[in-house]
């Protein structure tokens, strides 16, 4: 999910990220590859950046960020389920939908609106017959980012 006015930005091997912090909690992490660099300015910003850099160094990093998942009740259910998928593993939209008593399309739409890239690992969700989409795209550089994230995590099925 793109971030319009980030608190700060962070360059990662995957993309420049925009991070939005409100009231001491992370409310947004999204790809903004062409945005102006805004460095972290507070101790909290630096702590958040350190955790994101830790993930980039080691995909098994355990997140301890204070986050605020803002979405519909269904979206939040999907996002919390995504957080249970370990690095290096993938699940299909259909298998998540079955677990939630929903449809694969609804799960995909919730993934598309994921406000916390990496922390809520929507990149670990794939189609039954291929990679699926990423950030609402089914082709192009966003899919390259999904592939790179899955490769970074040594996913068993890409």
Cβ-based neighbours of 157, under 8 Å, separated by 6 or more: 90, 126
d(CA 37, CA 35): 6
Helical residues (DSSP H) of the chain, grouped into ranges: 43-57, 73-82, 93-100, 104-112, 141-152
Active-site positions read: 122
d(CA 113, CA 75): 8
């Amino acid at each position: 999910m793109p971030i319009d006015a980030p608190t700060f930005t962070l360059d990662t091997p995957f993309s420049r990220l925009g991070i939005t912090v409100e009231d001491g909690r992370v409310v947004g992490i999204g790809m903004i590859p062409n945005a102006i660099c805004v460095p972290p300015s507070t101790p909290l910003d630096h702590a958040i950046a350190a955790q994101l850099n830790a993930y980039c160094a080691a995909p098994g990093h355990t997140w301890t960020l204070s986050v605020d998942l803002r979405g519909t009740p269904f979206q939040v259910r999907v996002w919390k389920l995504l957080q249970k998928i370990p690095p290096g593993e993938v699940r299909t939209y259909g298998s998540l939908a079955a677990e939630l008593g929903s449809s694969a399309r609804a799960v995909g739409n919730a993934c598309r609106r994921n406000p916390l890239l990496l922390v809520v690992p929507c990149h670990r969700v794939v189609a039954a017959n291929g990679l699926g989409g990423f950030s609402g795209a089914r082709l192009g550089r966003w899919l390259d980012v999904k592939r790179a994230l899955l490769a970074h995590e040594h996913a068993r099925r890409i």
